Amino acid sequence: MDALSILFGLTIIAVGGALGWRINQLEKSIHILKEESIQKMDEQKASNNSSLVAVHHTLASLDAGAKTLLSTQPQLEGRIMLHSAIAKSESVLDRQGVSSSDLKEGGQKLVSAVRDLVASLQGDGSLESAPLDDVGLSTLSRRLFIVLDKCGLGPADLALNGLECRRLGALAHSVGENKWALKSFECANLQIPGDMSCLKILENLASHVGDTGARLHWLEEQLALTPDNPELLRSHAHLMINIDDKAAEKDVKRLEALGIDTPADRSLLSGLRERAGARNEALESLDKALEEDPTRVSDWSIKAKMHLEMGEMDEALIAADACLSLDRQQGEAWVVRAHVLKHRPSELKAALKAVTHAVALSAGGSESILLKADLLAASGRSEEGKECLESSLLSNPMDSELRSAMAAMALQSAELQKATDLLRSTPLESMSDPSIHIQWGRLHLASADLHRDGTGETDNRLLLIAKESFDEALRIDREQGIGWLGMARIQRRLGDKEAAAVSLTRAQRLLSEDQPALATECALLALDNGRISEAERLIENASIHDNRSANIPYLKGNIASARGSFSEAKSFYSEALTIHPEHSRALLNRIACSMAMEE
């Protein structure tokens, strides 16, 4: 073997040895790394287990804390649900091409969350009950109302009860969402109609947003429930100043009738009446216009009516004649002419002619028809007057003013059946007129008088039926003086003298002093209270204005009986029976006087 081969062999042996040594070293390193990796993995596993245990403990602690928080503040659960529902709805609304099923599902969750939220709120739903210092709730609420508007949902779509609607309204008001507040309280009012606190809130909200029409509506809703509330009457009067002077004056006069008017109320009334006195300025303007163009028919008609309202009869007649000289078909001018001439006995025929023209032209309404009937009766043509009334009512059965006036005439003539027929045939649409209910009340009173027993006592049930009619009339219009007078009479006969005195006071403030029926009722109450001198004074005053009523001699007979003058009393009762032969009380009292005199 040569040296080269030996060298090559040694080289291979050396390389193989080195390679083996290297492989051995690598195996040792790999083994060490493997052991280190296993050790590190064991350490990491132990660390992870420790972390997981810590996380578990943390989550358990958080869960316990959340449960504790929710148990102490259950409203938070509703807010969390609401936040989730709002977030989902916002996400759905921001996406394009949203399916109807997604919208429906989102809407259902939102409605459910809103109901849970308002159910968790405290308080009675007043504006002051909303949690103003809850920043989180305020932020959530603003987002809620924005989303509800985008979804086209309102309070009525949330299926809330009355209290929940009020709470939602209070919440809306607290974050400045007055539109939602109004809708919510309106929904609450539909759920619980007639709730005064809800109506008051609606009035305040309408005032806050500057909606005068809505405020007026809610004020009148409150007045319908408490018509004699002084604060409501004052608010209504001040609101009506710029809308309707007569309505404002009506409110102040009601305060006056209640006896609770203040200097400020009287000042307001004075201002209204002073403003009404601007007729003089209006007349001056009309006169200037007519000087420039005396052919202005409508101006002559307006001028005639204004003079009539001011009691300037001669000027009214001149203006009416000037109007008719230009146009004979001006019905209002004929009305003015008739009203002026009716006070002149020598012009009775001319007055009848004028009012006939007015009625033919459908001018003056029921007042003209009644005036025509009166003038026909004054001319000795009573039957024609009755036919005029009946034909007018037949052609216009909805005319409640004419119907009630005809019923009053029938009652005055003791034609109870005729009055009953007239009132029973009243169309349902006309039953909102207080005058119809007043005549029903008077009819029931007249029936009660006819059904007195042998002692002169009246069945209280009949009086209570009459009271219901007067109550309804006064519910419709609290300024019905005749209604208060009828109420006073019933209360007196039911033995409630104190209430009768209050009703009479209201009647006195609403009726003119020359009303014989008013003085008569005052005299009867004074007599029942044993104030004979006052009753005598009142009945003498009544006799000045009405010497044809059977009640005047009847009351004089009662006064004479109270003084023990039975002979004088008997003659007064006889006089009453001469005027009204069916006056049952006068007949009974005359019999009593005869018995007292042992005749």
pLDDT tens figures, 22-66: 777 777 778 777 777 787 777 777 666 666 766 666 766 666 655
- Indicate whether 582 pLDDT > 60: yes
Domains 77-93+102-256 and 281-396 share a fold: yes
CATH 1.10.420.10 fits 281-396, yes or no: no
Of 91-100, 187-196, 302-311, 455-464, least confident by mean pLDDT is: 91-100
Per-domain residue ranges for the chain?
77-93+102-256, 281-396
Confidence band (pLDDT; 50, 70, 90) for 12? confident
Residues 153-185 as b or e (16 or more Cβ within 10 Å = b):
eebeebebebbbbbbbbbbbbbbebbebbbbbb
d(CA 200, CA 235): 12
Contacts 24+ apart (CB under 8 A), 471-474: 472/434, 472/437, 473/434, 473/435, 473/437, 473/438, 473/441, 474/434
pLDDT at residue 491 is higher than 90: yes
pLDDT band for position 276 (50/70/90)? Answer: low
Token readout for 481 is 């003086």
Pair 169, 201: CB distance under 8 Å: yes
- What is the topology classification, in CATH, of domain 77-93+102-256? 1.25.40
Which pLDDT does position 332 carry in this prediction?
92
Q: Assess whether pLDDT exceeds 60 at residue 97.
A: no
Query: Is the model's pLDDT at 571 over the cut of 70?
Result: yes
Of 106, 104, 102, the residue nearest 114 (C-alpha):
106
What pLDDT shows up at residue 329?
A: 92
Spell out the long-range contacts of 97-104 with Cβ–Cβ below 8 A and sequence spacing 24 or more. Answer: 103/151
pLDDT surpassing 90 at residue 450: no
Residue 395 one-letter amino acid? S
Residues 6+ apart with CB under 8 A from 469: 437, 438, 440, 441, 444
Lowest mean pLDDT among 27-36, 162-171, 302-311, 433-442: 27-36
- Here the tokens at position 129 are 């009950």
Using one digit for the tens of pLDDT, what is the confidence trace for 381-439?
888 888 898 899 998 899 999 999 999 999 888 889 999 999 999 998 888 899 999 99
Q: Position 135: which residue type?
A: V
- Contact between 528 and 489 under an 8 Å Cβ cutoff? The reply is no
Does 340 score more than 80 pLDDT?
A: yes
The rounded distance, in Å, linking the Cα atoms of 368 and 357 is: 10
Token pair, residue 114, equals 């809103």
With a cut of 50, say whether residue 454 has pLDDT above it: no
Q: What is the DSSP string of 51-68?
A: HHHHHHHHHHHHHHHHHH
3-class SS of residue 513: coil
* Pairwise CA distance, residues 439 & 486, whole Å: 10
pLDDT of 324 > 60? The answer is yes
At residue 456 the predicted structure's pLDDT band, cuts being 50, 70 and 90, is very low
Is residue 563 within 8 A of residue 572, CB to CB? The reply is no
Residues written for the chain:
599
